[in-house]
Chains A and B, each alone.
Chain A
Amino acid sequence: KAGVTQTPRYLIKTRGQQVTLSCSPISGHRSVSWYQQTPGQGLQFLFEYFSETQRNKGNFPGRFSGRQFSNSRSEMNVSTLELGDSALYLCASSLGGATAEAFFGQGTRLTVV
């Protein structure tokens, strides 16, 4: 079956702009989580959606937001971009449940200039 698909793969934006990233989970998976990876910081949890509801949110400013649609696809939005937002943004899907295996997409590499 198809894996987790993230679009676009690469993105260059200017400071102050906003950006929307997309994630299509594995068919049948209702949980979608977003993570930010920066050099030396590992992966930091942004938020998790399950059945269109945000269940959990990490310690990121309100400029980072997301949503999930009825088909489980999810989008992540970052407004008023800062240079420090340059990172690899990863989406993971799972069946849901705290121990369900999470499958990651290839990520979107965002560069803010």
Chain B
Amino acid sequence: DQQVKQNSPSLSVQEGRISILNCDYTNSMFDYFLWYKKYPAEGPTFLISISSIKDKNEDGRFTVFLNKSAKHLSLHIVPSQPGDSAVYFCAASVSSGSARQLTFGSGTQLTVLP
């Protein structure tokens, strides 16, 4: 039972346009969400996070939107650059616990075409 789902395994976008990556979750206990980017042969690197008390968080070209009622979050990258080509994972956790456990989606391969 996948509690965090990324239904699009891949996405291609033209350079300079917007990339929108989507993520759905089923566990209503999740209240902290993160996006990670992963290049081949490297570990995931943290991009941006959002707490469930917010519905939007921005960091430069990256914006994460959270729709709690729909249990849906999305990552917007504007403008997209070729260096953004990577696998993007969304992850969720329960912030009230002390333990660190992230539940990841299966990832979306983003390709930004020059």
User: A-side interface residues toward B, CB under 8 Å?
Assistant: 4, 31, 33, 35, 40-45, 48, 50, 55-56, 58, 90, 92, 94, 96-107
Contacts and interface: CB of A to CB of B under 8 A. Distances in A.
Contacts, number: 81
- Dominant SS among interface residues on chain B: loop
Chain B interface size, as a band, is 20 to 34
A43 B89 contact: yes
A98 B95 contact: yes
Given A4-B43, A98-B100, A104-B45, 7 more contacts: A55-B99, A90-B43, A98-B94, A102-B100, A102-B102, A103-B46, A104-B36
Interface of B: 4, 6, 9, 32, 36, 41-46, 49, 51, 89, 91, 93-107
A58 B99 CA distance: 12
